[in-house]
Amino acid sequence: MATLKDRYANALLELSIESGTLEKDLEQAVLIRDMLKGADVQAFLVHPHIPDSAKNQLFDKAFSDKISKHLMGFLKLMVQKNRESLIEPVLTDYIDRVNKRLGKIEAKVVSAKALTEKQIESIRRLLAKQIKMQIDIKTHVDPDVIGGFYILVDGRIFDGTVRSKLNIMRERLKRGSYE
């Protein structure tokens, strides 16, 4: 059974397709998601003692001339139904669905140290070849990664970290298999 998040994301996708504004709505959804991402904004939206009118006023001031009517309607519906905490997850799911429909996908590359543009481009080309989609790479530096990097893309993990290679070596030694 589809979750509530899935149903809202699907409904938004259908509205975008019907209105023929898929790419425009994608840009607007990214804008909304990024602007509502902060902890302060989230605390404001989910606070039970802040009236719906104040939340809708926030949307009107921030987005009234920047987003389509159906995206504004979505935001106001979420407030009306007391589902403000779902706005960001629904938009993220919607963005992923639109990107897949347009042949694009986002990959997150987590490395021990910052990657160069040449390294990022090399990863992009290899992933695009394997996944057969246009890849948008977001990088993140995590000091807990001993060395190397791992990639999160489309629910899959490509792990090239030193830690994973050491774990594989340890398992092989335990089994007595050195190949």
Task: Please report, for the chain, the start and end positions of each structural domain, with discontinuous segments joined by +.
Answer: 4-100, 104-175
Look at residue 92 in the predicted model and tell me its pLDDT: 92
Give the pLDDT score at 64: 84
* Contact of 84 with 55, CB cutoff 8 Å: yes
Residue 2 is predicted with a pLDDT of 62
Q: What is the mean pLDDT of the chain?
A: 90
Q: How far is CA 74 from the centre of its chain?
A: 18
pTM of the complete model: 0.73
Instruction: Decide: 50 and 116 in contact? Cβ < 8 Å.
Output: no
Assigned fold of 104-175: Glutaredoxin (3.40.30)
Mean pLDDT by 10 residues, the chain (179 residues): 84 93 93 92 93 94 90 94 94 92 90 92 91 89 87 85 83 76
* pLDDT tens by residue, 128-139: 998 888 998 999
Position 179 scores a pLDDT of 59
4-100 maps to CATH 3.40.50.150: no
Phi, psi of 26 (to 5 degrees): -60, -50
104-175 has the same fold as 4-100:
no
User: Residue 85: its pLDDT value, please?
Assistant: 93
Determine the Cα–Cα distance for residues 172 and 179; give it in Å rounded to an integer: 8
Nearest Cα neighbor of 32 from 70, 88, 114, 86 is: 88
